[in-house]
Structure 1
Amino acid sequence: MPGWVSHVELDWALAPGRRFFEALSDGRTLLRYDRSGSGLSEPVPDVDIVEREFQIIAAVLDAAAYDVVDLLGMSLSAPLAVKWAAAQPKSVRRMVLYGGWLDGARLADAQVQAHVLGLVEQHWGFGSQILTEIFAPDADAAFRTAFATLQRDAAGPDFARAMLDAGYRISVATESAKVTAPTTVIHRDGDRAAPIAEGRRLAAAIPGARLVVLPGRAHIPYVGDVDTLIDHIRAGLGLPKTRAHTAPRLTARQLQVAALVAAGMTNREVAAELVISERSAESHVERIRTRLGLRSRAQLAAWYATTYP
């Protein structure tokens, strides 16, 4: 399940994000989606977030022809996953919750909540940067820039505010006691977006849940000690540790082309810069995208920015 906002294509283009999702899918089918109003999904009229999430999950499972799944809820999706598991216990075999909370009202005091909501609504550009600083305080500048841009590409200010507000309002104090699926709650002890106290409360409220506390301050799962986090997520899903994979490598010329694409150049401009034909430049771009499994120039630009900061 996605975090508070998502974009399945651009998430994949961020090099750390792609490695994270590839590791999760090793030995298992990984189903990802953008909730309505975010990423590639169309907006819908105002609907209760829980009701709409249930509709989306049901549609995804129906499209994939799965009756029972292992559920991974991260950030805002952690309490939403709890609500689904409580309402549809037969559909959840195991559940892993990362960076979640029991009661959103406890994430920050009312004054801080109001300030963040107003900032996102009125100054989304600056707000996306501030949220990135909270979500990934130890990430390098290139990643922070790319992730702030991803958030703005994934959602407009109204939807972003609505999702943050939903996070502050959601509580699963009642539903958590109804969860029957084996559950692992994973939390970083210095998470600045979701305090560790809420992770502990969430784990304590779910019958038989196992709590794993990891060091780190990042709320974004693919920042920080990602390998250890992946190992614990996979363990919670009944999977062995992931095998090491070698990332695709580009030639020196392809790296030159990727850098120019990331700088915003068209194929014609790339050709002029490298003194090659426009057709050759186009061919280079297509081969790079094929080798990296990317679908667009935007994905290529995001990949380069986070791989070669």
Structure 2
Amino acid sequence: MEGLPDVRFARTADGVSIGYQVFGRGPALVWMPSLSNIVAQWRIPALRDAYLGLARELTVVLYDGRGTGTSDRRVDLGDLGVDAHLRDLTAVLDAAGLQRATLLGYYHSVPTAIAFAARSPGRVERLVLFGGTSRLREAMLPAQTQALLSLVDQDWGLFADAAATAWLGWDEAASGRWTAEAFRTATTAPVFKAWIEAARDIDVTAELPAVRAPTLVLHRQGEQRIPAETSRRLAGGLPVARFVELPGSTPTLFIENQAADLRLVTGFVTGGRVERRNGTSLTPRERDVLRLLSAGDSNTEIARHLGIAVHTVERHLSAVYRKLGARGRADAVRLALSLTENRHDL
């Protein structure tokens, strides 16, 4: 395909060849892989537009993890845990000459991003995390995910088609076809099964307190997939994190609401800004609840002052947390004060 960035190769400490691409200009963003094929992914129109959109302000690094895409397919299937993925990431950063970068952890690579930030804080500017958890088993529990995984042994091609359409929601014919092709050519069924088996034991929860990098935890999922509370809990375990629930239900980033997603992520990577999304303004009642919360009132006291039931206060607070990307009461108060000081309307 014409116009693609060159595929370069990095060598890991254990001798695995890792394919990667570098393009764009500006602060570095390393988009870490889940099941990937960086060459085939450029054929997906929406994804290609996302790459080019990020490259307008950022230096973007894409790479294929061991056993996938352009990287070595012949790998030790018993060594696909976090440490192996950390070796891949370290090799790419070193080969690309990046001493420091923002990491975009996407699904399977979220724990690797967390572990790297905890163990190598000097090399991580910021973190953007989407679609994963510190304990990967939690992301694999939904029934629809388990049903899809059961197809791997039966028919690898059918699994790829189902993953692209039923799970990721690609209903547009061309994009769906190319996404399925990217899945199908990313790896083989035995390697993918080994990835999944290793993922069941990946848990970096204990490393969350050691992450010092400012972190943006993003969530956009349908009801049958990863619940918002899982991502909210991840943000709550990180010392410096914002949680933002994106509008929509397709479990992807930069696709369903591409322009807004690009502004959000680019703003955070370039300056630590978290742009508030259209449609997230608080209602008058939610502002009243937040005002009383900021004054130190309990839920019972807020209910009495406003003449509403306590469960109604709880419902309003849940909406406030979601709209502000707050992790709880204290975080909501802090964000409210920050927004007031900066003259942003709540």
**TM-score scaled to structure 2, two decimals?**
0.64
**Aligned counterpart, 2:316:** none
Within a 5 Å distance, the mapping from 1:242-281 to structure 2 comes to none
Aligned 8 A contact 1:134 1:192 in 2? no
Q: Does 2:39 match 1:9?
A: yes
Classify 1:157/1:123 alpha carbon distance in 2 versus 1 (closer, same or farther; 3 Å): same
What is the alpha-carbon distance in structure 2 between the residues aligned to residue 45 and residue 175 of structure 1?
Answer: 26
Q: What RMSD over aligned residues (CA atoms) do the two structures have, in Å?
A: 2.3
What is the alpha-carbon distance in structure 1 between the residues aligned to residue 197 and residue 173 of structure 2?
Answer: 27
What is the alpha-carbon distance in structure 2 between the residues aligned to residue 238 and residue 78 of structure 1?
Answer: 20
Classify 1:188/1:129 alpha carbon distance in 2 versus 1 (closer, same or farther; 3 Å): same
Residue 113 of structure 1 deviates from its aligned partner by: 6.1
Which amino acid in 2 is paired with 1:93?
Answer: E
**Aligned counterpart, 1:85:** 117
Aligned 8 A contact 1:187 1:213 in 2? yes
3-state SS in 1 of match to 2:62? coil
More helix by share: 1
Residue 33 of structure 1 deviates from its aligned partner by: 0.8
Classify 1:54/1:106 alpha carbon distance in 2 versus 1 (closer, same or farther; 3 Å): closer
Aligned 8 A contact 2:213 2:240 in 1? no
3-state SS in 2 of match to 1:215? coil
**Aligned counterpart, 1:214:** 246
**Aligned counterpart, 2:88:** 56
**Aligned counterpart, 1:65:** 97
Higher RCO (C-alpha 8 Å, min separation 6): 1
What is the alpha-carbon distance in structure 2 between the residues aligned to residue 177 and residue 215 of structure 1?
Answer: 29
Q: Deviations over 1:202-251 (max 9, x none)?
A: 1111112011111122223243112211111112212589xxxxxxxxxx
Among 214, 232, 235, the residue aligned to 1:200 = 232
Residue 27 of structure 1 deviates from its aligned partner by: 2.3
Classify 1:192/1:11 alpha carbon distance in 2 versus 1 (closer, same or farther; 3 Å): farther
Residue 110 of structure 1 deviates from its aligned partner by: 8.5
**Aligned counterpart, 1:34:** 64
Residue 29 of structure 1 deviates from its aligned partner by: 1.4
Among 88, 97, 108, the residue aligned to 2:129 = 97
Classify 1:71/1:2 alpha carbon distance in 2 versus 1 (closer, same or farther; 3 Å): closer
Residue 191 of structure 1 deviates from its aligned partner by: 6.7
**Aligned counterpart, 2:194:** 162
3-state SS in 2 of match to 1:48? coil
Aligned 8 A contact 2:58 2:266 in 1? no
Q: Greater shift after overlay, 98-107 or 81-90?
A: 98-107
What is the alpha-carbon distance in structure 1 between the residues aligned to residue 56 and residue 223 of structure 2?
Answer: 27
**Aligned counterpart, 2:55:** 25
**TM-score scaled to structure 1, two decimals?**
0.71
Aligned 8 A contact 1:135 1:220 in 2? no
3-state SS in 2 of match to 1:210? strand
Q: Does 2:228 match 1:182?
A: no
What is the alpha-carbon distance in structure 2 between the residues aligned to residue 3 and residue 67 of structure 1?
Answer: 20
Classify 1:112/1:26 alpha carbon distance in 2 versus 1 (closer, same or farther; 3 Å): closer
**Aligned counterpart, 1:234:** 266
**Aligned counterpart, 1:261:** none
Which amino acid in 2 is paired with 1:201?
Answer: R
Gaps of 5+ in 2: 1-30, 275-346
3-state SS in 2 of match to 1:169? coil
3-state SS in 2 of match to 1:94? strand
**Aligned counterpart, 2:164:** 132
Count of residue correspondences:
241
Residue 3 of structure 1 deviates from its aligned partner by: 3.5
Residue 115 of structure 1 deviates from its aligned partner by: 4.4
What is the alpha-carbon distance in structure 2 between the residues aligned to residue 15 and residue 180 of structure 1?
Answer: 36
Aligned 8 A contact 1:8 1:34 in 2? yes
What is the alpha-carbon distance in structure 2 between the residues aligned to residue 135 and residue 114 of structure 1?
Answer: 11
Gaps of 5+ in 1: 242-309
